[in-house]
Structure 1
Amino acid sequence: MISTSGKIVGIGIVLSGLSACASYQPVLYPNAYYQSVGRTIADRDIRECRQLAESAGAREGSGSTGNTARRTAVGAGAGAASGAVGGAIAGAPGRGAMVGAASGATWGLLSGMFGSGTSQPASAYMNFVNRCLREKGYEVTGWQ
C-alpha cells in the first residue's frame, strides 16, 4: 500500500513532467509575411531560430527550473521542521517530519511551477530568436 506522502510525491513528479512540455513561445503578429507563409511555415521558422540561438551559445535558461528547485527544497525543509514539531506534540516526530517534508516539497514544487515566480527564457535567448524571426520577415509581439 502506498503512503499518503508517496502519493503526494508521485503526483508532484507527474505534474513536473507535464510542465516540462510547456515552454514559452514567441507570439507573431499576423503581418503580410506571416499571412503569406501560414502557421506551419511560421512554426518551422520558430524552431529553426530557436536551434540557431542554441547553436550560437544563447541558452533558453533555467530560471524557471532553478526557481522551482529552490522552492521545492525550501518547502521540504520548512515542511520537515514544522512536521517534526507537530509530530513531537503528537508523539511521533519522525513520522511528522516525513509527512511535513513531503507536503512542503510538493507545495514548493507546485508553487514554483504554477506560481508567479515562473520566469521567461533568458533575455539573450529571446532577443536572438526575435532578431532571427524579424530578419525572416516576422513581427514578434512578445512571448508566452
Structure 2
Amino acid sequence: MKKQRYSVITFLSVLFVINSCATKRPILSPNDHLTKIGVEAADKDIDDCIQLAKTNIGKYSTEKKIAEQTAMGAAVGAASGAAVGAIGGNVGWGAASGAAGGAAGGLIYGLFKARDPDPLLKQYIEKCLHEKGYDVIGWK
C-alpha cells in the first residue's frame, strides 16, 4: 500500500513539473518590427510583458485553478459514486470511491488545463506587445 502511494505521488509530481514548464506563450507575426529587431529581442520583450502583467494584474493562480478542478471532480465523483453505491447497497463506499476517482480526474484535468493563461493576463500581454510593435497571432 505504501509503495503504491509513493508511485502515485511521484507520477503526479512529474506531471506537475512537466505541465508547469509548458506554459503557453504568445506567437508573434513576422512583421517588419520583428524582422528588424530579431527573435532574441522579441523573446525578451515577451518575458518583460509577461512579468508586467503578473505584477500589475496579479500572479496567475495556477494552484487555485487546479484546486478548483480537483474539488469539482471530487464532488461529481462522490455524487456519482453514491448513486452507484445506492444501487449496490453501499452508499458510503460508493461515495468515497467516487470522490477519490473524481478528485484524481479533476486533478489531472486541472494540471493540463493550467497551461492556459488567464484571459485578463493574456489580454494585458497582447496589448503590451502591440504597444511595442508586435502582432500576436496566437498562443502555443
Regarding TM over 0.5, the answer is: yes
Q: Which residue pairs with 1:58 in the alignment?
A: 57
Q: Unaligned regions of 5+ residues in structure 2, if any?
A: none
Q: Is the 8 A contact 2:19 2:115 kept in 1?
A: no
How far is 1:50 from its partner? 1.7
Structure 1 residue ranges (4+ consecutive) displaced by more than 6 angstroms after TM superposition: 96-100
Aligned-residue RMSD, C-alpha: 3.7
* CA gap 1:72/1:138 in 2 versus in 1, 3 angstroms: same
Q: Unaligned regions of 5+ residues in structure 1, if any?
A: none
Give the 3-state SS of the residue equivalent to 1:61 in structure 2.
Answer: coil
What's the CA shift string for 1:100-124, capped at 9, x where partnerless? 6654432221122236x8743232x
Q: Which residue pairs with 2:48 in the alignment?
A: 48
Q: Which residue pairs with 1:20 in the alignment?
A: 20
* CA gap 1:97/1:8 in 2 versus in 1, 3 angstroms: farther
Give the structure-1-normalised TM-score. Answer: 0.68
Matched ranges for 1:49-128 at <5 A: 49-55=49-55, 57-59=56-58, 61-62=60-61, 65-76=63-74, 82=81, 103-114=101-112, 119-123=116-120, 125-128=121-124
**1:16 and 1:53 mapped to 2: Cα distance?**
23
How far is 1:25 from its partner? 1.1
**1:51 and 1:98 mapped to 2: Cα distance?**
42
The percentage of counterpart residues that share the same residue type is 37
**2:78 and 2:9 mapped to 1: Cα distance?**
14
**2:102 and 2:5 mapped to 1: Cα distance?**
10
**2:9 and 2:78 mapped to 1: Cα distance?**
14
Q: Count the aligned residue pairs.
A: 139
Q: Which residue pairs with 1:136 in the alignment?
A: 132
How far is 1:40 from its partner? 0.9
Q: Is the 8 A contact 2:22 2:115 kept in 1?
A: no
